Every structure is written in C-alpha cells, then in structure tokens.
Chain A
Amino acid sequence: MDHKDRQETCFTNFSTQNQQKWEFPDPLTELLQASKAQDWDPAAMLNNLSFLEQKIHQLQGLVHLIIGRRDRVSGQVQPYELVAQQQQLVTADLTSIIVQLISTAGSLLPYVKHTQGAPSLSLGQFQPQNGGVSGGGGGGSGASELQNSVDVSTNEEHDLKDEEDGEELGENLFPGTYEILQLEKEEILAPHTHFCTICGKGFKRDANLRMHMRGHGDEYKTPAALAKPNKESSSEPALIKRYSCPFAGCKRNKDHRNFRPLKTILCVKNHYRRTHCDKSYTCSRCNTKKFSVMADLKTHEKHCGKDKWLCSCGTTFSRKDKLFGHIALFQGHTPAIPLDDTKGSTGTCDPGNDSEATNKLGSMNMFNFSSSEDVKGSMEDPSGCFSPLNFETCNFGGFHEFPRPPFDDSESSLAFLLSGSCGYTNKSGEQ
C-alpha cells in the first residue's frame, strides 16, 4: 500500500500549497480494495473501470493546476527547486497511478480483448497533456496501452450534464469528483440559517437577510452590499458540492455502501424531514394524510378530495381513465357510484321533458346544461382554482412560510393552468 500513502501525502502537499479545501473522500480506498477483488463479475469490472477513469481524472486535474500556476507567474523567473519539486511530485504521482492502472487493468484484460481498436482516440487526447508535464514518464506507454476502454473526455462531458440535471443523477458522479458536506441535524431543522449580525433576527434566505440589513443603515444599501455574494474564483472549475444526510445507516449517508449524495441543501432539508422526522402536518380535509414537509401538505391539499374516481375495491383515482384501466385489469372490480348522486337526479327528473326529447340533439344539450353534475362541478371548482391563486399572492407578498426554490412558484401556477384546462376537457368530454 505504499503507493497509496505516497499519493495521499502528495495531495496534501498540494492542498497546503494552494490553500484550498481539497478533501479526499474515503471511497477512494474502498475502490482500491474493490479493484483488487479478483472475482470477475461485471459490477466489479465496472468498478475497476470507473476507478481507472477517476485516477486519470485526478492526474489531469493535477497537471491543470500546475499549468494554471505557471501561467499566473509567467512574468517571474521560477525558482528551479520549485519546478523540480513539482516535476518530482507529478512523476511520483504518475508512477503510483500507473502501477495502480496496471494492477487494475490486468484484471480487466479478459473482458477488453475484443474492444482493442476503440481506445486510441481517448489516448490521443490524454497523452499530450500528460507528456508535456511528465517529460519521459517511465510508465507512460504502459499506461496508455492499459487505458483501454476508459474514455476520459466523454466522462467529463457526462459530469457537466450531471450538474444540470437533478440529484438522482448523483449516482453517475464518481466518488472523489465531488466534495461531500454534511450538515448536523440541528442545522438542518433550524428554522433560520441566516442571522442578522446586528439584531440577531433569523432568515431562511440570504436575500431576505440582505433586504433586512438595509434597515440597519445606509452602508448596507450600497449596490455592493445588496449584490449577491460572488463565488470566489471562476477561473478554475470549483469542485461540485454534494451533501450527505447525517442519519447513520441512511442511503443518503456518506458511510452507506451504496451512498447516493443529495444535491442541494434544500434536498437535505426535505429528505431529512421526510424520512427521519415525524409527520406533524395533517391534512385538514381528509384528516388521514400526514406530512413532515409543509410544501407536501400544500400540494396534497390541492388535490385532496378530488380523487372522485372510486373503484369498488376502495382505490381512488384522480383520473377517470386510470380508474377504467384499473377496472379493465382486474376481474370483479367495478366502478363505485357515490350514493349522493340521487339527490341531484331526482331534482332534475323533469316530467315535461318528453316532448323536447323528440327534437333530438338541440334540446338534449339544453337538458344537459341544467343537469346535476355541472352544478356539482361548479361547486367544486372554486376551491380548485382559488387555492393556487391565494398561494401565489402570498408569495408575492414575500411571506415564505417554508423554503421553496424559485421554480416551485412557477410550478404551482402551471398546475393551476393545468387543472383549469383539465376541468374544461372533462366537462366537454362528458357532454
């Protein structure tokens, strides 16, 4: 394990030099062990491959750093020792990586025989950067030969995509390519995360705090003070941040075997509340559904009671076609007809209707308009349309009762539109 130790020291060196937070997670060691596992199952192979990938990535990052620094200090004459030291570090690192590559790739050989032709392209991209720094790195050729099915460039693209997509893609992120943060339980459940340094008032959002600060004096009203605090440096790609759940044994906890990180702080908060906290918010309409996140309750309340499509087995559906699909699927299930239907029907039983009916469709439509179900529909509708509206006005007033990402607002307004149009098609369909 000497190469591993050497590598760790070399990286700690680097981090001290650059004065950056450069944590190295332990999945690396896990993977190393995994790479030595000699059982030839595809999962292990995939592990090995991703390990190789990751190694190359690390090295690339290292060389990038060196190049970046050279550029920055290009005006000055660099001390010889420093250059030598860097070179030494890189070569040491390279050798360690190459040794690992050989040991790992050796286990892959039987699988990759038939894909021999493919990898030359990725190597071509890989080598110039590598060779430029390492000069005549001893194991360079060996490494390139063994770098078979690993395509570094595509991997990078993949990482970029991950950033755009949701947290579920986190599983495609390779351990070590991101930084893992873990908030404590109290921190997660704290109602406020931003506090005024003057009066101590707490806020959920930084922006709200800045708005509040204006009241404490003119110095907080300058554009600079009001502006969104910038991320320190944009020159180099900051390492992606991912979050771990503090609950031990949770799949979202970094110690879990199949750890799947959470993407944002908000995800952490919602995840922790949903899975590890009591469900304290009860729906006031149905009194059965409970939620631990306020937003979930609000979402539920929008639809609660609208599951009017009922099957004889007791299952409710919010959509008629879903109910009919269910009935088509199961023997003996039938649509359940609510008993309160009778009230409407006797009301609309019109003895003088016989004559109109002979006038066929025209009169029928008229009859339909006066029928019970439409009346019922219009009774139900207001609750459906107004609650999202109210909700939106709340947001405009700036009273955020619960943390909601900005896109959530648009979502709710979209839902309002959708529910409106759904109601329309339903009605027209029924006629």
Chain B
Amino acid sequence: MKTQGQGQSKRKQLHHPLSPHSNPFDILTEEIVCNILDHLHDDPFATKSFSLTCKSFYFIESRHRRILKPLRPDLLPRTFHRYPFVSHLDLSLCPRVDDPTLNDLSSTWKATLRSINLSRSRFFTNAGLSSLFINCSGLVEVDLCNATHLTDLAASAIAEAKNLERLSLARCKLITDMGIGCIAVGCRKLKSLCLKWCLRVGDLGVQLIALKCKQIRSLDLSYLPITEKCLKSVIRLQHLEDLILEGCHGIDDDGLSTLEQSQSCKSLKMLNLSNCQNVTHTGLSALINGTEQLQQIILAYGSSVSQKILKVTSDLAKCLLTYSKLQSIKLDGCIITWSGIKAMASLDAPFKELSFSKCLGLTDDGLSFLVQSQKDLRKLDITCCRKITYNSIDSVTSSCTSLTSLRMESCSLVPKEAFVLIGERCPFLEELDVTDNEIDDEGLKSISRCSKLSILKLGICSNISDEGLAKFGSCCPLLKELDLYRSIAISDAGIAAIADGCPALEMINIAYNDKITDNSLISLSKCRMLKALEIRGCLGVSSIGLSAIAVGCKQLTVLDIKKCFNIHDNGMLLLAQFSQNLKQINLSYCSVTDVGLVALASLSRLQNMTILHLAGLTPNGLAAALLACRALTKVKLHASFRPLLSQSILGHMEAHGCVFHWRHKAFQKEMDPKGWKLHFGRSSSEVP
C-alpha cells in the first residue's frame, strides 16, 4: 500500500505542471510505467492495484509480468491469456498440479518459460513432465523437490531439457542411478544439481553426472549412499565451487586417502562435510588437497563428536593452514581442544564467520585467544557454549568490533554486565540472539545503540522489562524480528514502544506473557509490515485485540493464537474479512466454534490449519469449513474427528492436495505443563 501511495504521489507530481484537462497518464511512456512496475515488489497488493488503475495500466502490467505465483492451479487457465510472457512460474502454492495443467501451461508459455517451481506440488507424473520439457525447451531452472512419487521415467523426461542449468531433486526417493544417468546424458549444461535424500542414487549415478556434466558449479549429495568411488570423478570437475556431502556415511578416511593421487578440485569454494561420521582430518585434507579457492568449510556434527577425535582439532586446524582465502568455518557440535584453538588462531586467514554452536570444549581462554587476531569477524555463533563467561564476551567485543551477527543463546554463565559491552563495542550488529540469557534492562539499553539491529531474540529473558524495551524501541527503527517468548516481565507499555519505534517489524513473538493484553495488539496493529504474529497462551488477549491486528496488518500471513482462550468467533470473522494474506493459523484451544471456522474458511490463501481441542467445533462445522477452504494443503486435527468425518470429504480434500495430520494429544489444562516457572526459579537464584 505504501509503495502504491508513493507511485500515486509521483504521478501527481508529474501531472502538476500540465494543464488540468489533459490525461495525466498520457505523458507516461510504457517504458516509464514498466520502470515503476519494477519497483513494486514489497507489497503483494501493489501490482494488483496498479493494474486496476486503468485499461492501459492493466495491459502494460499484463505484458510486463514475468514472475507468476498463482494461488490455485484452477486460476491458471485465466492467467494464460492475461500474462503471455511469464518466464518464472512458482507453483509452490498449488498443492495439486496434474498432468493436464502441466500440458496447458507448457503449451501456453512454450517460448518464454525459463524457470518452474514444483517443489510443493503433487499429482503430476512423468507424462506431464515430459510434455513440459519437450514444449519448453528454454527451461533453465526446475525445482522438483519433494516429488517422492517420481520415478526414473520422470527422470528420463527431465533429460529432454537440454538447456537445464539448475535442477533440484531433493527427496525424490524413487529415482535411481538409471534416472540420474538419463539426466547426466541429457542435461549437459547443468550447473547446479541437488540430489539430497535421493536415497537410491549411488556411486554410479553420481559418477556419470560428474563425467557428463562438466559445467557443474554446485553439487549437493547429502545423505546419499555414496563412497569415494564417485568422488574421484566429482573432484575432477573443473568448475565445481560448492560441494555438499552432508551425512554421507559411506565416505570415510580410508576411501578419501585413495583420492590423493588423482587430480584435485582447484575451483572448490565451499565444502560441507556435516554429519560425516567417518571423516576426520586425514580424510578432509585428502579431499581439499590442492584446492586454492576454498572459502567456507562446514564440519558440523562430524566425526569430531566421536571419542577418537578428541585431540584432533589441532591436526584439523593444521590441515587448513595453507588455505589463505578461508573465510568461514563451522564447527557446530564438535569437541574443541585447547591445542585446536591455538592451531586455529595461527591460521593467517582472516575469518568472517565462525560457528561454534554446541561446542563442548570451548572455554573462555580458547575463545579469547582465537578472536584476538580476528578483527574482521562478522558472524559469530556460540550458541550453548556453556563454559564461556564475561571474559569471552569482553575479548570478543573488544577485538571483533565489526560483528554483524552474534548468536549466544543459552550461554548461561555470561553475566548481565557482559551485555552492556556488546552494545558499547559492536555498533554494526544486525542480528543478536540472547535467548535464555541473564540480560537485563541495562544491557538492552546498551544494545539499543546498535541502530542497524534487525533481528533481536530475547526469549526466556525474564530480566527484561518495559523500561529496556521502551529504550530499545526508540532507537532501533530497522527492527524486523523480535522474539519475546516467555520474557515474562514485559507488558503492554513495552510492546507499545516497540510498535511505535519499529514500523518495519515483520515478525513478533510474545507467547506466554501473562501481562500482555489487547492493548499490545492494538498498538502492534500500527506495524503494517507485520507478517507473523505469535501470541500463544496470552490469556489477556481477546477478540478485540485480534480484530485490531486483522484490520491493521493486511500482510499477516502466519498467526498463532493457540491457548488464547478469550478469542472468540468475532475475532475470526474480522480475520476472515481483512487478513486476505493469511496462510497459516493455529487455533488450538481457542473459544472458536463452527461459525468462526467456516468464516475463516473463506480466506482464499489459507493453506495450513491446526485445529486441536476447539471446544465448540462439531464434525459438520469442520466438514463445511474444510470444503470451503480451497487452498488447504495441511490440516492438523484431533484423531477423534477422524471417524466422525465422512470418507468422501476426506477423499475430496486429499484429491485436492490436502494432507491430514491426526494427533492424539490429550487436552492440557495447565498453561505451563513443562515447568518453565521452575526453570526461572533456578536461574534467578543463581543471579547474585
């Protein structure tokens, strides 16, 4: 709406010097209009309003449109005429895309289509794909993730796409080496290929890909049953930059050691060996032997977790010595030794990103020693490093002043004083995760100096109050994401300050905060960019507050109002009327009845519903709502409804691509069944 307003004001300015009788739009050439159109991306309604302005705008917009993301496949035939030049088709909102649909769209956009996303769609077969690939020979990018029903026949259909450059087949679990072989022979121009979780693809298929598709830049082989046999061919790829081998348990040190004789991959920039249990530093050094461009290495949850590697991190660091362009190392979940830290510190590479999430051995001394020389560090992740204290934060903040991202969830030994340092010394912070920490209002006030902050996570920080939030809200206008989950000391005043000071807010979580009432939501309704709102278990919130949100936040797409017992049908009615963008809603435990649910069902974009323990819900109401909701893809329901709904309704829904998840969860009366209060008691007693 905002951009549209700007567009209008521009037009007015242009119109001003001219005589009042001439048509103001006549002086706008098609080129200028197209330029304006190019800038209308932020608001989903902007282009719609634009094309509704006048006939000529409608015409220009329809010719100008390249990207299409239809809400439902049955709307597609109407778009065929309206948008003749679509090149990027995103069908991720269409759960049901069958062969005739693919046939039609491929014959319509025969010449223009370059990219298609079918990752969320089902019900098409190899026949539809083959007509798509034969008709649209210009296709460059295809996303077929999650097509678990596709077989090798579909793969042989893909092989018709001779110009394909980017292909994702993640989770295509029925495709075997044979299908991959077809693709390897057919799609010679492939640059990026994702075969993650294609569990039937083995060495032979990957080997053939590496032999036939010489242009490959990015190859994702995660969780494939492959061994070093295919890697021998893979590392001979001249242009390979990204190699992802996550969770490849078939790859081990012995196998990798046989690679040393052969040619190495000189162009490799990123290597991901996460979850490779059988690869240690010896295997790693064999694999990256001879690479010169290596920038990022990800070894998360790798072999270092097993006992035999305890002392290896120093060797590991040594084998990275020669890679001067290295910028990023991720060692999440590894055991880090003092010698390893020392060796890492001795690498000359100026790191930009370090990740030590859940590293057990990371101590104050180690981290301080390591960051001393890393002045250029931008991103640091020390989530759950429970040994670090004030000293670490002191040295990190004093040496790495250009930090943009700091994640330190659950660093339980870091005292509240440390957070003051972060605010004082790291002015460029854009992302800060201090979930489950001792941070208090003083710390938050200090952090408010980081005026570029866009993501702040303060979940389970019980020491934060309205005072800190108010200060923060007044200083950080760029904030987009705020997490206040179970920060139980905050109330309406704090939220109001945030709503006033952060107009760009897109996501806020204020779940399980007793003091939050409708006033908070009323003030949040000012945030027009709000897309996701989570107010689980806020007992003080009623339909009034939700109505305000529905009216104010037109872009709301995700809403979680689970256990808001005071939200009734009225809230749903307004939501149904105003929140046309709503995609996902969790209504469990609310006081919503059939009426509210049926009203909600009129939302044309609603895809995902969780409806457990709605007291006023009857099977008939549910059935009516389900049938009315045409875009549904996923519904979570209590298992007790299963026998009460007629099979024909379920069958109808499933035929449209909706998936039912039947849950057996018992009704929870208590607000805090997991004893979070106890946890707070413990942590507050530790605070001096």
Say if the beta carbon of B148 comes within 8 Å of chain A.
yes
Q: Which residues of A contact B654 (CB under 8 A)?
A: 351-352
Q: Are A348 and B149 in contact (CB under 8 A)?
A: yes
Q: Which residues of B contact A352 (CB under 8 A)?
A: 654, 659-660
CB distance from A342 to the nearest CB of B (A): 6
Name the segment of B197-205, B347-355, B418-426 touching the other chain: B197-205
Are A324 and B207 CB-contacts (below 8 A) given A337-B179, A353-B148? yes
Which residues of the other chain, A, contact B208 by a CB distance below 8 angstroms? 324, 327-328
- Distance from A363 Cβ to chain B, minimum over Cβ atoms (Å): 10
Instruction: For the A-B complex with A328-B211, A335-B178, A342-B125 known, give 7 more contacts whose Cβ atoms are closer than 8 Å.
Output: A332-B185, A334-B181, A337-B179, A341-B153, A345-B153, A351-B654, A364-B199
B639 to chain A, nearest CB (A): 13
For this complex, 29 residue pairs linking A to B, each with C-beta atoms less than 8 Å apart, are A309-B178, A320-B204, A321-B204, A327-B181, A328-B212, A333-B185, A334-B156, A334-B181, A334-B182, A334-B185, A335-B179, A337-B153, A337-B156, A337-B178, A337-B182, A341-B153, A342-B125, A342-B151, A348-B149, A349-B149, A351-B122, A352-B659, A355-B659, A361-B223, A364-B173, A364-B197, A367-B148, A371-B173, A429-B225
CA distance A244 to B331 in the complex (A): 74
B146 partner, pick from A339, A357, A431, beta carbons under 8 A? A357
Q: Does any Cβ of A come within 8 Å of B458's Cβ?
A: no
Q: How many A-B residue pairs have CB under 8 A?
A: 99
A41 contacts B by Cβ under 8 Å: no
The answer to whether A368 touches B173, judged by C-beta atoms less than 8 angstroms apart, is yes
Q: In the bound complex, what is the Cα–Cα distance between A335 and B211 (angstroms)?
A: 15
Nearest opposing residue in chain B for A354, CB measure: B659
Cβ–Cβ contact A334 & B159, under 8 A: yes
A325 nearest CB neighbor, chain B only? B204
Is B171 in contact with chain A by the CB < 8 A criterion?
yes
Interface residues of B in 110-167 (CB under 8 A from A): 122, 125-126, 146, 148-153, 155-156, 159
Residues of chain A whose beta carbon lies under 8 Å from any beta carbon of chain B:
309, 320-321, 324, 327-328, 332-335, 337, 339, 341-342, 344-346, 348-355, 357, 361, 364, 367-368, 371-373, 429-431
CA distance A321 to B171 in the complex (A): 24
Residues in B neighbouring A431, C-beta threshold 8 A = 199-200, 225
Name the residue of chain B whose CB is nearest to the CB of A334: B185
Q: How far is the CB of B349 from chain A (nearest CB, A)?
A: 34
**Best-surrounded residue of A349, A351, A357, A368 (most CB of chain B within 10 A):** A351
CB of A215, distance to nearest CB on chain B (Å): 59
**B204/A345 in contact, CB under 8 A:** no
Quick check: A430 and B174 within 8 Å, CB to CB?
no
Instruction: Render B302-337 as a binary contact track against A, CB cut-off 8 A, 1 for contact.
Output: 000000000000000000000000000000000000
Shortest distance from the beta carbon of A368 to any chain B beta carbon, whole Å: 7
B199 contacts across to A, CB distance below 8 A: 364, 368, 431
* A328, B178: Cα distance in complex, Å: 13
B536 contacts which chain A residues (CB < 8 A)? none
Sorted from nearest, which 7 A-B pairs have the closest CB atoms?
A349-B149, A334-B185, A335-B181, A345-B151, A324-B204, A337-B152, A335-B178
CB distance from A343 to the nearest CB of B (A): 10
Question: Hey, which chain B residues are within 8 Å of A430, CB to CB?
Answer: 176, 200, 202
Determine the distance from Cα of A321 to Cα of B207 in the docked complex, in whole angstroms.
Answer: 11
Instruction: Flag whether B177 is at the interface (Cβ < 8 A).
Output: yes
Query: Are A367 and B173 touching (Cβ within 8 A)?
Result: yes
Choose among A320, A328, A335 the residue with the greatest number of B CB atoms under 10 Å from its CB. A335
The CA-CA distance from A37 to B153 in the complex, in Å, is 67
Whole-angstrom distance between the Cβ of A339 and the nearest chain B Cβ = 7
By DSSP majority rule, is chain B's interface helix, strand, loop, or mixed?
mixed
User: Known: A341-B152, A361-B223, A429-B225. Is A324-B202 also a contact (CB below 8 A)?
Assistant: no
CB distance B155 to A337 under 8 Å?
yes
B379 at the interface (CB under 8 A from A): no
Rounded to whole Å, the gap between the CB of A204 and the closest CB of chain B is: 46
Complexed CA–CA distance, A133 and B265 (Å): 75
Complex formed: what's the CA distance from A277 to B125 in Å?
52
Question: What 1/0 flags go to B640-651 for Cβ under 8 Å of A?
Answer: 000000000000
Q: Bound complex: CA of A327 vs CA of B204, how far in Å? A: 11
Q: Tell me, yes or no, whether B634 is within 8 Å of chain A by CB.
A: yes
Query: Chain B 201-236 against A: per-residue CB contact (8 Å), 1 yes, 0 no?
Result: 010110110011000000000010100000000000
Q: Which residues of B contact A361 (CB under 8 A)?
A: 223
Residues of chain A lying within 8 A (CB to CB) of residue B159? 334
Contact B151 A341 (CB under 8 A): yes
Contacts of A327 in B (CB 8 A): 181, 185, 208
Which residues on the B side are within 8 Å of A342 (C-beta)? 125-126, 151, 153
Q: A309 CA to B205 CA in the complex, in Å? A: 13
Q: Check B494 for interface membership: any CB of A closer than 8 A.
A: no
- A308's closest neighbor in chain B, by CB? B178
Q: How far is the CA of A309 from the CA of B208 in the complex (A)?
A: 15
Q: Output the least CB separation between B297 and chain A (Å).
A: 24
> Which positions 554-594 of chain B face chain A at CB distance < 8 Å?
none
Say yes or no: B200 contacts A324, CB within 8 Å: no
| Residue among B152, B202, B225 with max Cβ neighbours from chain A (10 Å) | B152
Instruction: Check: B661 CB closer than 8 A to any chain A CB.
Output: yes
CB distance from A318 to the nearest CB of B (A): 15
Contacts of B155 in A (CB 8 A): 337
Residue in chain B with minimal CB distance to A351 = B654
Contact bitstring B166-201, A, C-beta under 8 A = 1, else 0: 000001011011110110011000000000010110
Nearest Cβ distance between residue A235 and chain B, in whole angstroms?
57
Residue of A nearest to B660 (CB): A352
- A334-B159, A337-B182, A364-B199 known; A355 vs B661 contact (CB < 8 Å): yes
In angstroms, Cα B191 to Cα A351, docked, is 32
Separation of A364 and B223 alpha carbons in the complex (Å): 11
- Contact assessment for B125 and A346 in the assembled complex, using a CB-CB cutoff below 8 Å: yes
* Chain B positions within 8 Å of A348 at CB level: 149, 174
A365: nearest chain-B partner, CB-CB: B199
Residues of B within 8 A of A354 (CB): 146, 634, 659
Shortest distance between the CB of A211 and any CB in chain B (Å): 52
Residues of A close to B126: CB separation below 8 A = 342
A357 to B181, CA, bound (A): 25
For A332, the chain B residues whose CB sits under 8 A away are 185
Residue of B nearest to A321 (CB): B204
Within the complex, what minimum Cβ distance (angstroms) separates A333 from chain B?
7
Nearest-Cβ distance from residue A25 to partner chain B, whole angstroms: 53
Contact of B156 with A351 in the complex, beta carbons under 8 Å: no
With a cutoff of 8 Å between Cβ atoms, the chain A residues found around residue B122 in the complex are 351
Nearest chain A CB to B175 CB, angstrom units:
10
Cβ distance B669 to chain A, nearest Cβ, rounded Å = 27
Set of chain B residues within 8 Å of A372, measured between Cβ atoms: 174
Chain A proximity of B34: nearest CB distance (Å): 40
Cα–Cα, bound, A368→B197 (Å): 12
Q: Which of B148, B182, B185, B657 contacts A357 (CB 8 A)?
A: B148
Nearest-Cβ distance from residue A317 to partner chain B, whole angstroms:
12
- Chain A residues positioned under 8 Å from B156 (CB to CB): 334, 337
A431–B152 alpha-carbon span in the complex (Å) = 15
